[in-house]
Amino acid sequence: MLDIKFIREKRETVEEALKKRGEKISLDQLLSWDKERRQLINHAEDLKHRRNKTSDEIGVLKKKREDAAELIQKMQEIKEEIKKADEKLRVLDERIKSQLLLLPNLPDESVPLGKDPKENRVIRTWGDKREFDFQPAEHSDIGAGLDILDFDTGAKLSGSRFALLKGDGALLERALINFMLDVQLKRGYREIFPPFMVTGTSMTGTGQLPKFEIELYKSNMDDLYLIPTGEVPLTNLHRDEVLSEDDLPLSYVAYTACFRREAGSYGKDTKGLIRNHQFNKIELVKFTEPFDSPQELENLVKDAEEVLKMLELPHRVILLCTGDLGFASAKTYDLEVWMPGERRWREVSSCSSFLDFQARRMNIKYRKEGRLEYVHTLNGSGLAVGRTMAALLENFQRADGRVDIPPALRPYMNGKKLIE
């Protein structure tokens, strides 16, 4: 959430930043309510001053045993005015907050200007694309041929965009989860196993609500949401808390199942493991001091990238342009892995800095030299498990349909070197 004071004092800066994101948002109504609110606060304070003064005058008259009826009546009128002012203030506060919750974060100055993904910037590429002496297949066909991926049964059980993993497919998914967790534990993260259902307050804190409710699965009976990403419970761990400067940065890693309606993706990526309603992911979340957050974002990217390197998967790091940023992000790097069967790059991780945007929504502060300041939050996938599995199947496939297991993953596959 943006700071209303910053919006008020730096309106042109905010409007220009929103334009860079491709947002056409008028701040007129918000700032009008803000002006009215500040005037109302002054009016309410004046009323309370008059109330206190009148109360003192009533006390003096009563001590003198003189008639205070007129002042008492005046006091009641002032109290009614205060009550009305407080109610108007409450309504204005709700209106202002509702508007602020719909405003996206402002892009960091280091984010390249651009309208869409075509203008994202390739930062670096790692690994060579494998040359095949046969036509490489797509992961869904490889998985079906090995009888480890079953999309028909998944659809029978739950509908479209659900996958059933069998045998070595289920083992590979579990192996990847444990492998990814172990990589990050060795890099200093603390493991969390959070609930997969959260309150609306938690969803609002990270920015999924109110803007993206259509994308969420909700249990109306319990007023709980299935998480779309582990970012939600992890970042809400310290909601309404004051952290110690000595404890920062805090780094957490978690495995979670994730649930997304994919409401805006009809007809897109309907095949395979790329865009399912339910999928597994390893999430990385950091809480940092503002000064440290730029470097911590670079560290976060390297932590996620290490998984791809250890799995020997060719990949590239992309810096998103202003027009491709997520709602809450100030700066985002995507990790994209090469898919030889599809002959295209696929995102397996987004690593983002939110500056104090989420911390303001969740009221997460830290104490520094006696002052309270908002922390900066960062998160990234380390990695999306299903997409990583898809990349492994395509990059390590053999002509006969079998799939090699990269050496780093073999201990997690009970020593197996081959899926056949």
Q: How far is CA 197 from the centre of its chain?
A: 15
In this predicted structure, what is the pLDDT of residue 60? 86
- Mean pLDDT of successive 10-residue stretches along the chain, which has 420 residues: 97 96 95 96 92 87 83 88 94 96 97 97 97 97 97 96 97 98 98 98 97 95 97 98 96 98 72 94 98 98 98 98 98 98 97 98 95 97 98 98 98 97
Residue 145, φ and ψ in degrees, nearest 5 = -65, -35
Are residues 59 and 53 in contact, defined by beta-carbon separation less than 8 angstroms?
no
* Nearest one of 44, 48, 122, 30 to 85, comparing CA atoms: 44
Question: Which residue's entry shows tokens 């994101």?
Answer: 21
pLDDT tens column, 354-379:
999 999 999 999 999 989 999 999 99
Q: Please, which residues have CB within 8 angstroms of residue 34's CB and are 6 or more apart in sequence?
A: 4, 7, 8, 96
* DSSP assigned state of 346: E
* Torsion angle of the four alpha carbons 149, 257, 312, 412, in this order, in degrees rounded to the nearest 10: -80
As a whole number of angstroms, the distance between CA 122 and CA 400 comes to 35
As a whole number of angstroms, the distance between CA 79 and CA 76 comes to 5
In this predicted structure, what is the pLDDT of residue 56? 86
In this predicted structure, what is the pLDDT of residue 380? 98
As a whole number of angstroms, the distance between CA 9 and CA 98 comes to 20
In this predicted structure, what is the pLDDT of residue 54? 87
In this predicted structure, what is the pLDDT of residue 22? 95
Query: Where in the chain do CATH 3.30.930.10 domains reside?
Result: 117-419
As a whole number of angstroms, the distance between CA 342 and CA 273 comes to 13
In this predicted structure, what is the pLDDT of residue 59? 85
As a whole number of angstroms, the distance between CA 82 and CA 44 comes to 6
As a whole number of angstroms, the distance between CA 406 and CA 337 comes to 15
> Which structure tokens are listed for 414?
């009970």
Cβ-count burial of 280 within 10 angstroms (0-12 exposed, 13-18 middle, 19+ buried)?
buried
Distance in angstroms between the alpha carbons of the first and the last residue of the chain: 51
In this predicted structure, what is the pLDDT of residue 268? 72
As a whole number of angstroms, the distance between CA 96 and CA 110 comes to 29
CATH 3.75.10.20 given to domain 117-419:
no
As a whole number of angstroms, the distance between CA 76 and CA 47 comes to 12
**DSSP assignments along 239-273, one per residue:** TT-EEEGGGPSEEEEEEEEEE---TT-TTSS-STT
Q: So which residues are the catalytic ones?
A: 260, 275, 347, 350, 387
Are residues 278 and 258 in contact, defined by beta-carbon separation less than 8 angstroms?
yes
In this predicted structure, what is the pLDDT of residue 66? 82
Are residues 83 and 191 in contact, defined by beta-carbon separation less than 8 angstroms?
no
Query: Where in the chain do CATH 1.10.287.40 domains reside?
Result: 4-100
In this predicted structure, what is the pLDDT of residue 265? 61
Question: Which residue's entry shows tokens 């079906």?
Answer: 144
Are residues 364 and 202 in contact, defined by beta-carbon separation less than 8 angstroms?
no
Second-level CATH architecture of 4-100: Orthogonal Bundle (1.10)
Tally DSSP H helices, then E strands, for the chain.
12, 18
* Nearest one of 238, 226, 235 to 195, comparing CA atoms: 226
As a whole number of angstroms, the distance between CA 335 and CA 345 comes to 9
